[in-house]
Structure 1
Amino acid sequence: MSGAQPWGFTDDRGTELGAARVPERVVAYVRAGAALLDLGVTPVAVYGSGHDGPGYDPAKAGGLDAAGVPYLGPGRALDEGLLRELRPDVIVDVTYDGKSPYALDEAVADRLGVPLAALSVGNELTLPEILDRFGELSGSLRAAGVAGVAGPVPSAGAADGTGPTAPTAPAGLRDLVEAEAVLRGVAGRTGLAVLALSGAGPDQVHLARPQAWPELARLAALGVRLLDPGPGPGANWLTADWGRVAELRPDLILFDDRFHAVPPYETPPGTRLAAWNPETPPSPAAYARFFRDLAEVLAA
């Protein structure tokens, strides 16, 4: 297809975006860019967040680095001249509050005259809904002939396991449906207590509140027994010392493996460990890998 047809998309802030033709040159926040790559849209470049440094964080990059997609550094420190030279047709970011893009100041896009799509990754949407939205955006962009066939990725299904059948679903979604079935079976057999956390140093750790994270809420819906850290300040995390981890007595710790986080300093004897990326690319393929890896650790 030539990409000459008009393009329109409403992002998760309710912002209606439009262009005279379907965007072909996409610049994206690294998490969004890795998801788009999985879904058949290769960005011309990606940028990081305030947590990121001058190079790719391996936990966040997905297949971007291997695909040769340039990384521009943290979004708040982007060289606007370099961004202009890339001639983006659209910028894709994420939003946690449904109001503002997370990693890039929207004024940058305004100065460039480039539409910015911000898709929600916060807990106002379920994980299947988040995956649907990235599927819808990638489908609209693939209409330009960037890759694949236009159209949204079908829903990954409800918590009861219903969803598209394998013969009609894209390969990544088939893998996700199968991975969820495996994880559901393993979780039901083992019943292990799981605690998700992000290390902050020898004296401090951030304990995740399961319902504040769409992927953790999805794990709970699949039967994984997630531990809540208990009352205290913080909507997404409870900040405590490592003694609180021991008090919760988890059988398995999901630890934040992003570059800026630190490995667990103290774990109760016999506790298993598994990596968790709180910024997993919102694609069926990426979550299929995470769920399969978790199932293997739970079953070990």
Structure 2
Amino acid sequence: MSNARATHFSRRGMLAAGGALGLGAVLAACGDDDAKSSGSDADASKAVATPAAGPWTFKDDRGTTVKADKVPSSIVAFIGVAAALHDYGVEVKGVFGPTTTKDGKADVQAGDLDVTKVTVLGNEWGQFNIEKYAALAPDLLATTMFDASTLWYVPEESKEKILGVGAPTVGISVVDIQLDKPLQRMLELAKSLGADTTSAKVTAAKKAFEDASARLRAAAKANPDIKVLAGSASQDIFYVSGSNLSIDLEYFKALGVNFVEPSADVLKASGGWYESLSWENVDKYKADIIMMDSRTAAIQPADITEATWKQLPAVKADQVIARNAEPILSYEKCTPLVTSLAEAIENAKKVS
């Protein structure tokens, strides 16, 4: 994969981090992707939402109450939101954000969504094809938010034109709260759009998440000396995450996970998100387990060639696990993230 090469980052670029730098968010837009066929057939293995006739209302995390005469059915969403809604049987017509990789495969943030059956309005930061958006006759635009009012991946420079199409917008907050809160909010949004949130499938998925959380709490309590570091890799810099602000790390910390992280003073330079280290200084923090950003824009552990990385005790002990710094907000997708960390802590050797 190509390496990130930008060196100056906006606040939104920092917020893309989910606790480590959102490397893809800072790359310049380089044209719109070709449209995929619009519309979407629900996966046969998924429950299919059945929207009620209406009227429809939903209060989002801006405190804005959006209303419509009928339940939205022509939905456009940030790719992670679309993936979460898909898990609840709610299908979208268009998506924006990291949807496909350079080889045309579904990005990790697409989850189980069939990306060939949606219209892709933009695959990178700054891309949003307004003409294709308007052609979908959208009746809802849904995305996440990394601050109190900014809709994630909706370009500031074209925001007014996008909003001018007339579709109501919904934002779900994913900053400085614990993971279980936005999970519940996404469930509420799906319910408002016709999902059966009391189905056996959804009930089982929620219980599995709660069980995994209990397992992680027990693992952390039984192994209090095991130190965990969250990182993200680019060509020249290794980013060490702080455990505040990010919904997953805040949740794991509340369950007792012992994070090793930069001090608050060091984190100030990035607005509280991360510390940038050269590869020569990658051993600054001693950890027994390293969680590495699994998003496409980050270099993955198997592709890191720096000798200093390979000499880290956690790397030598094969105690490196994946972390999706922008979790897909369905219980089905978040349970494996919790389980993976619980297993790693249960089986970790003390190497720091």
Give me the CA root mean square deviation. Answer: 2.7
CA distance in structure 2 between the partners assigned to 1:287 and 1:50 by the alignment:
19
Structure 1 residues 195 and 12: alpha-carbon distance in aligned structure 2, compared to 1, 3 A threshold: same
2:167 maps to 1:114: yes
**Does structure 1 retain, via aligned residues, the 8 Å contact 2:100–2:107?**
no
Q: Structure 1 residue 57: deviation in Å?
A: 5.5
Asked whether the equivalents of residues 199 and 261 of structure 1 are also in contact (C-alpha less than 8 Å), the reply is yes
Partner Cα separation in structure 1 for residue 119 and residue 100 of structure 2: 18
Classify the secondary structure of the residue corresponding to 2:185: helix
Identity across the alignment (%) = 28
**Equivalent residue for 1:103, pick from 153, 164, 167:** 153
Partner of 2:186: 134
Q: Distance in 2 between matches of 1:56 and 1:118?
A: 27
Q: Is the 8 A contact 1:109 1:115 kept in 2?
A: no
Amino acid in structure 2 at the alignment position of 1:254: M
> Would you say the 8 A contact 2:99–2:115 is kept in 1?
no
Structure 2 match to 1:93: 143
> Which residue identity lines up with residue 85 of structure 1 in the other structure?
A
> How far off is 1:138 after superposition?
0.9
Q: State which drifts further: 221-230 or 73-82.
A: 73-82
Residue pairs, 1:8-87, within 5 angstroms: 8-48=57-97, 55=104, 58-65=107-114, 68-74=117-123, 76-87=126-137
Aligned to 1:261: 298
* Structure 1 runs not aligned, ≥5 long: 143-147, 154-166
Query: Which residue in the other structure is 1:250 paired with?
Result: 287
Report the 3-state secondary structure (helix = DSSP H, G, I; strand = E; otherwise coil) of the residue aligned with 1:211.
coil
2:174 maps to a residue whose letter is: V
Please report how far the alpha carbon of residue 122 of structure 1 lies from its aligned counterpart in structure 2 after TM superposition.
0.8
Q: Aligned with 1:288: secondary structure?
A: helix
Whether the 8 Å CA contact 1:49–1:103 is kept in 2: the answer is no
Compare relative contact order (CA 8 Å, sep 6+) and give the higher one, 1 or 2.
Answer: 2
2:106 and 2:115 in contact (8 A); partners too: no
Aligned twin of 2:7: none
- 2:216 is aligned, of 183, 188, 210, to 183
Taking the aligned partners of 2:134 and 2:201, their CA distance within structure 1 comes to 40
1:206-217 to 2 correspondence within 5 Å? Answer: 206-217=239-250
The residue type equivalent to 1:178 in the other structure is: D
Map of 1:285 onto structure 2: 332
- Kept in 2: contact 1:130–1:282 (CA 8 A): yes
Which runs of 5 or more structure 2 residues have no equivalent in the other structure?
A: 1-49, 348-352
CA contact (8 A) 2:130 2:162 kept: no
Q: Distance in 1 between matches of 2:154 and 2:98?
A: 8
Scaled by the length of structure 2, the TM-score of the pair is 0.72
Instruction: Pick closer, same or farther for the CA change 1:261–1:171 going to 2, 3 Å.
Output: same
Q: Deviations over 1:14-56 (max 9, x none)?
A: 2221111111121100111111112221212211169987956
1:246-269 deviation digits (Å, cap 9, x = unpaired): 121111111111111113541513
